[in-house]
Amino acid sequence: MPEPRIVVVSPPFASHAQPLATVAAALAAEGADVTFACDPAFADLAARRRLRFEPLGFGDNANTGIAERTRQQAAGARRLTEFLDATRAGAVPALLAQARHRRADMLPDPAGVHAAVRRLDDRLRPDWYLVDQLAYAVTLALCALNRRWAAFCPGHPGYVLDGPGRFFGLPPYWPDAITPPAAELAALRTEAEANDRLFTELFTGFLAGHAPGRPAPRSAFGLTSSEAVLFNYPELPWLPPLPAGPELLFAGHCSDVGEAELPPGWRDRVGQLTDGGRRRLVLVSFGTFLSARDDVLATVVRGAARLPDVSVLVSAGNRAGTLRTAFADRRWIEVLDHVPQRALLPSASLVVHHGGNNTFTECLAAGVPAIALPFSSDQFAVAHDLERIPAGRVLDPHRLTPAVVTEATASVLSSGGRVREAVAPLLASGGPKTAARRLLEAMDHPPNIVS
């Protein structure tokens, strides 16, 4: 059989593009003819993965690695500032800010994206696409063009909605440490329902204008591939309901943990930080957006560093300079703007993170316990799963003190062996290579396109 031609489409966010590029490279290694399509800023990522690249724009919101450093249009930069300010007010205020930004962030210029996808499709004529579940403008374009696609869910499986009462931006469950007031949850639900109606009306109107006769979705946020959905997540028995139609594929993780090599000089740096194995390394990383919360980062560092046999390595993004100055006199604390996280994980004894899906699944893949401090998005659901597995602890970043961090760090460090035992069966047959093979098998059948 001829090799399938596949276009992998990612929105312009590093946390989405990295795992999608890893899957794209795994598809290419299986013999597929793969093109990676994203914002031009991600051409180098495709080149490092030896993938062909096609530029595809998505609007004014992007994050190429550290959100605060990414050059953005004024509107996108303003929304980022508003979001970061909202994270200081609490869990629901952060989610409400995201809900109010959703129209601009998640469905920018649908007509322009449709035209760009159509031009790309006419030129490349792929057999099918692999599209980020949150790239709604691309999904809408493919629906209008009546093309085959598989969906890639970059975060918690709850992003793929099914059933009544489920709304995008409303967490399906919460970790024990965070219980928002009922009034705040009611306000969030109202906003999420309003977004669902708005997006569904926009989808319906767009399809009526660009592809008359195409069926309108019951819910825009519930629209996903009818053929296959690949989750960057382990299959857990308590996940919320998922669609019954497509083949559901759980990758466990979509990273190169265990294969990534430390850059030059890093092996010596790790040796110094761990004092030749006499100290345990705690890695603190809040991802590409939330590294801006240097107040919480500082509290975490102060608490973890109280333990006598611990060294702390902090990935602090744009706030590295401020934190470096604050801890300049502390020998066993090192602050950098960026670290080779996936390559470092086998050397870490504990990771303190924000509940981001990539870090969560990478820690599982490496068998490293974690402490999660969720702020927004799907992080509350991810944190719930982390503590339920159990693969670590969850703390409320809005009630954090150094003493709370010290206690939690000591507790989780003592549970490392139990975490590895709990995690092993979840990831025994996962990873991007297995995911690519299963995805190719799922899509190797006659087209299942709704007409």
d(C-alpha 152, C-alpha 253), whole Å: 12
Residue 69: the pLDDT is 44
Question: Do both 228 and 320 map to the same domain?
Answer: no
Residue 417: the pLDDT is 78
- Closest CA relative to residue 388, chosen from 286, 242, 241, 238: 238
Structural domain total, the chain: 2
Residue ranges making up the domain that contains 56: 5-254+431-443
Q: Per-residue confidence at 451, pLDDT binned at 50, 70, 90?
A: very low
What is the value of pTM for the model shown? 0.93
Question: Do both 54 and 98 map to the same domain?
Answer: yes
Give percent above pLDDT 90 in the chain.
80
Tell me the mean pLDDT in the region 71-95: 83
d(C-alpha 82, C-alpha 426), whole Å: 37
Indicate if the pLDDT at residue 76 is higher than 70: no
Residue 66: the pLDDT is 45
260 within a domain of the structure (yes/no): no
Question: Do both 224 and 141 map to the same domain?
Answer: yes
Residue 73: the pLDDT is 55
Residue 102: the pLDDT is 83
CA distances from 352 to 111, 128, 284, 363 (A): 41, 38, 5, 10
Residue 316: the pLDDT is 92
Residue 74: the pLDDT is 59
72 within a domain of the structure (yes/no): yes
Please report where in the chains the tokens 């030896």 appear, as a residue: 50
Which ranges in 389-427 belong to alpha helices (H)?
402-413, 416-423
Question: Do both 54 and 120 map to the same domain?
Answer: yes
- 94-130, pLDDT tens digit by residue? 999 999 888 776 787 889 999 999 999 999 999 999 9
Write out the two tokens for 75: 């509107």
Bridge partners (DSSP) listed for residue 312: 282, 333
Indicate if the pLDDT at residue 309 is higher than 90: yes
Residue 40: the pLDDT is 93
- 16-68, pLDDT tens digit by residue? 999 999 999 999 999 999 999 999 999 999 999 999 999 998 755 444 444 44
- Closest CA relative to residue 293, chosen from 86, 97, 99, 105: 86
The enclosing domain of 165 has a CATH number of 3.40.50.2000
Q: Per-residue confidence at 418, pLDDT binned at 50, 70, 90?
A: confident
- 335-381, pLDDT tens digit by residue? 999 999 999 999 999 999 999 999 999 999 999 999 999 999 999 99
Question: Do both 240 and 272 map to the same domain?
Answer: no
449 within a domain of the structure (yes/no): no
Question: Do both 49 and 183 map to the same domain?
Answer: yes
382 within a domain of the structure (yes/no): yes
Question: Do both 33 and 181 map to the same domain?
Answer: yes
- Letter string b/e over residues 373-385, b meaning 16 or more CB atoms within 10 A of that residue's CB: bbbbbbbbbbbbb
DSSP string, 69-111: GS---HHHHHHHHHHHHHHTT-HHHHHHHHHHHHHHHHS--HH
Residue that wins the pLDDT comparison between 320 and 104 = 320
Residues 6+ apart with CB under 8 A from 376: 83, 87, 91, 94, 95, 98, 290
410 within a domain of the structure (yes/no): yes
Question: Do both 207 and 354 map to the same domain?
Answer: no
Question: Do both 270 and 186 map to the same domain?
Answer: no
Question: Do both 220 and 272 map to the same domain?
Answer: no
308 within a domain of the structure (yes/no): yes
450 within a domain of the structure (yes/no): no
Question: Do both 419 and 436 map to the same domain?
Answer: no
- 178-234, pLDDT tens digit by residue? 999 999 999 999 999 999 999 999 999 999 999 998 888 889 999 999 999 999 999
The β-bridge relationship of strands 247-250 and 280-285 is: unpaired
259 within a domain of the structure (yes/no): no
Question: Do both 94 and 200 map to the same domain?
Answer: yes
- Closest CA relative to residue 133, chosen from 34, 232, 200, 25: 232
Indicate if the pLDDT at residue 289 is higher than 90: no
